[in-house]
Amino acid sequence: MGRMEGRAESPEAMEALGREAAKLAGPGSVIGLVGGLGAGKTHWTKGFVAGIGSAAEVTSPTFGLIHEYSGGRRPVFHLDFYRLDSARELVALGWDELLEEGGVIVAEWADKFPELLPPDTVWRHFTVEPDGSRTVRKAGLEGT
């Protein structure tokens, strides 16, 4: 099993953690990312998408709300719930259809609408440490 959690001293180290996590992501996987602004969620996702085998340029979907990255072993749907005000908005974006696509969903700020995420969602919590490094840990939503 790859090293999917731990401390990242740089954006490159955070991307390496994402690449490792991609090795374990099967079709239909949903990964909920939780953590404050600047905690490393998008850098982790860059590594994850590269680990899936896509050469796509990953950017934060804060304003577009959803980005699709293809060209790898399976499509990756990268969502950001930060600007959504209700679960209804997420459903209107086609959330139910995405869950049926067979790709991998990576959702930033996923704790805003946990009721819409499947029970087997893998949760990753991102923390900025006092020394400026970032920590990623696996935990259930109760760990937020």
Percent of the chain, pLDDT > 70? 92
pLDDT, tens digit, for every residue of 81-91? 998 999 999 99
For the chain, which domains are there? 26-36+60-139 (3.40.50.300)
Packing angle of the helix pair 41-52, 11-22 (nearest 10 deg): 40
**Could you give the CA distance from residue 88 to residue 134 in angstroms, rounded to a whole number?**
32
The four Cα atoms 6, 75, 121, 63 give a dihedral, to 10 degrees, of 80
With bands split at pLDDT 50, 70 and 90, how would you rate the model's confidence at 143? very low
Q: Nearest CA to 48 among 34, 33, 64, 37?
A: 33
Query: What is the pTM (predicted TM-score) of this model?
Result: 0.90
